[in-house]
Amino acid sequence: MAENNQNAVAGSAPAKQNPVVTKGGVYKPPVERADANPYKDSRISSVGAWLQERFSVVIPVIDYLKKKEVPKHRLSFWYYFGGLGLFFFMVQIITGLLLMQYYKPTTAEAFTSFVFIQKEVSFGWLVRQIHAWSANLMVLMVFVHMFSSFFMKSYRKPRELMWLTGSVLFVLTLGFGFTGYLLPWNEIAFFATQVGTEVPKVAPGGAFIVNILRGGEEVTGETLTRMFSVHVVLLPGLLLLLLSAHLLLVQILGTSAPIGYKETGRIKGYEKFFPTFLAKDAIGWLIGFALILYLSVFFPGPIGNEANPLAPAPMGIKPEWYFWAQFLMLKDFTFPNGELMAIFIITLGAAFWFFIPFLDHRASREEKSPIFTIIGLLYLAGLVINTYRVFIEYGW
Ligand code: HEM
């Protein structure tokens, strides 16, 4: 059996020969075999050839990557932000795994283990600071990537699925920030999570959602267990799945150029994705890593005091900066049912954003769509202005 299988070499068809049956009716494989490694003379490495023989994808993938080209024009700079988001995500996975070796997700031990990592574990402080700073940078890069894809109308036909998978990735990225915030179990984390998980309460059926988020009516050890498991299992799993689809689509459909650039000769040429663009990506990643190290060493985040659920909430509790715009809107709407109205507007705005590829018909016909550019600018201005207002009122 094993001998027969040798004929079925991945990536190459077995030579056509009549099967040999001996007198006793016992099957014998043909003497002449198909070439076991049709790529042995090609320039791929011996490891590549070994894999190709068994998995038959190495050469097609390398050929494909070599064929992919990225257009060069005055806005090409913005193509690097998706890759930077990817880089910071990889940093999160590595540092997150290291932190998990010492972190204990119970109310009794969470804060102590967090302090232990900061003060006792060799380079624990650095790993924790890198994890915190890289999280912020990942969110920032994904924001920039989303808005630059929006303004270049990269969502237009046939890239609708890139936009949809990207939008879910955006929500998952924010989910990481939200669930990770509680884990140190310090005062700020505790009260900010209390405020954050209370938001759905005013909506119909909201009490049920609050219960799901908290694992009960209050923020307790149950909430910590939930946040931890979602942070380290559910979100990474979902993100990896969606990311694979997103990146596969990028490879299949290629990188888009802004509307009208080809027709008006504004494309200065094309560069190979592999290795040229990827090498430039890598330079961006090195700069990104240097930035995280700089921020971690010179601007370390505080440890704070252990959470005390019985203590009154300190003044000026606010969420992470990427939720400030929504947070302010909830606070601004002080009229009756204001919070419900704010939730409604935020949800409607998010749904509209999600379905943009199906609403902007002009872009899909390769025509300019200034109304959607204006809508994007309004979204961006709303976010930036509200975020800035929280900064002025509460500080960093
Ligand atoms: C974890 C988050 C994300 C990662 C790691 C990621 C990664 C990438 C990468 C590496 C590319 C190819 C290079 C580039 O154009 O930048 C890309 C392309 C793209 N992404 Fe994302 N992305 C993420 C989230 C998003 C979000 C939130 C959106 C929008 C809602 C989005 C929409 C797109 C689109 C439309 C393209 C195609 C660009 C083109 O063809 O010109 N992505 N993404």
Q: What is the DSSP string of 290-308?
A: HHHHHHHHHSPPP---B--
Task: Yes or no: say if 247 and 166 are a contact pair by the CB < 8 Å rule.
Answer: no
Task: Yes or no: say if 261 and 267 are a contact pair by the CB < 8 Å rule.
Answer: yes
Dihedral angle sign, alpha carbons of residues 389, 391, 393, 394: positive
pLDDT digits (tens, 9 = 90+) for 270-294: 999 888 999 999 999 999 999 999 9
pLDDT digits (tens, 9 = 90+) for 43-61: 677 887 888 788 888 888 8
3-state secondary structure at position 257: coil
What is the pLDDT, as a whole number, of residue 6?
39
Which residue type sits at 17? Answer: Q
Residue whose CA is at the smallest distance from ligand 1 atom 25? 166
pLDDT digits (tens, 9 = 90+) for 348-371: 999 999 999 999 999 999 999 999
Dihedral angle sign, alpha carbons of residues 170, 175, 178, 184: negative
Half-sphere exposure of 274 (CA within 13 A, CB side): 10
Task: Yes or no: say if 330 and 318 are a contact pair by the CB < 8 Å rule.
Answer: no
Is it the case that residue 15 has pLDDT exceeding 60?
no
What is the pLDDT, as a whole number, of residue 207?
94
**pLDDT > 70 in the chain, percent:** 90
pLDDT digits (tens, 9 = 90+) for 136-159: 999 999 999 999 999 999 999 999
C-alpha 141/C-alpha 143 separation (Å) is 5
Which residues form ligand 1's pocket by a CB distance below 6 Å? 79, 81-83, 85-86, 89, 142, 145-146, 149, 154-155, 159, 162-163, 166-167, 169-170, 173, 243, 246, 250, 255-256
With the most atoms of ligand 1 within 8 angstroms of its CB, the residue from 93, 240, 250 to mutate is 250
Q: Identify whether 275 is preceded by a cis peptide bond (ω within 30 of 0).
A: yes
C-alpha 389/C-alpha 376 separation (Å) is 20
Residue with more model confidence, 22 or 320: 320
Q: How confident is the model at residue 14 (pLDDT cuts 50, 70, 90)?
A: very low
Is it the case that residue 10 has pLDDT exceeding 50?
no
pLDDT digits (tens, 9 = 90+) for 154-190: 999 999 999 999 999 999 999 999 999 999 999 999 9
Residue whose CA is at the smallest distance from ligand 1 atom 1? 169
Q: How confident is the model at residue 16 (pLDDT cuts 50, 70, 90)?
A: low
Q: Cβ-count burial of 43 within 10 angstroms (0-12 exposed, 13-18 middle, 19+ buried)?
A: exposed
Task: Yes or no: say if 121 and 102 are a contact pair by the CB < 8 Å rule.
Answer: yes
Taking alpha carbons only, the member of 51, 305, 105, 115 closest to residue 221 is: 105
Q: How confident is the model at residue 32 (pLDDT cuts 50, 70, 90)?
A: low
C-alpha 317/C-alpha 328 separation (Å) is 12
Q: Which domains are delineated in the chain?
A: 2-60 (no CATH), 75-319 (1.20.810.10)
Taking alpha carbons only, the member of 213, 182, 180, 215 closest to residue 199 is: 213
Tokens of 212: 């799901």
What is the pTM assigned to this prediction? Answer: 0.88
Is it the case that residue 329 has pLDDT exceeding 80?
yes
**Any alpha helices (H) in 68-159, and if so which ranges?**
80-100, 110-119, 124-151
With the most atoms of ligand 1 within 8 angstroms of its CB, the residue from 139, 140, 149 to mutate is 149
CA angle 68/69/70 to nearest 5° reads: 130
**Strand 27-28 with 69-72, pairing:** unpaired
Task: Yes or no: say if 14 and 34 are a contact pair by the CB < 8 Å rule.
Answer: yes
- CB environment 148-169: b (16+ within 10 A), e (fewer): bbbebbbbbeebbbbbbbbbbb
With the most atoms of ligand 1 within 8 angstroms of its CB, the residue from 76, 136, 145, 353 to mutate is 145
Q: How confident is the model at residue 21 (pLDDT cuts 50, 70, 90)?
A: low
Ligand 1 midpoint to CA 353 (Å): 15
Ligand 1 midpoint to CA 92 (Å): 18
What is the pLDDT, as a whole number, of residue 12?
44
Tokens of 50: 């070994």
Q: How confident is the model at residue 227 (pLDDT cuts 50, 70, 90)?
A: very high
Residue whose CA is at the smallest distance from ligand 1 atom 40? 255
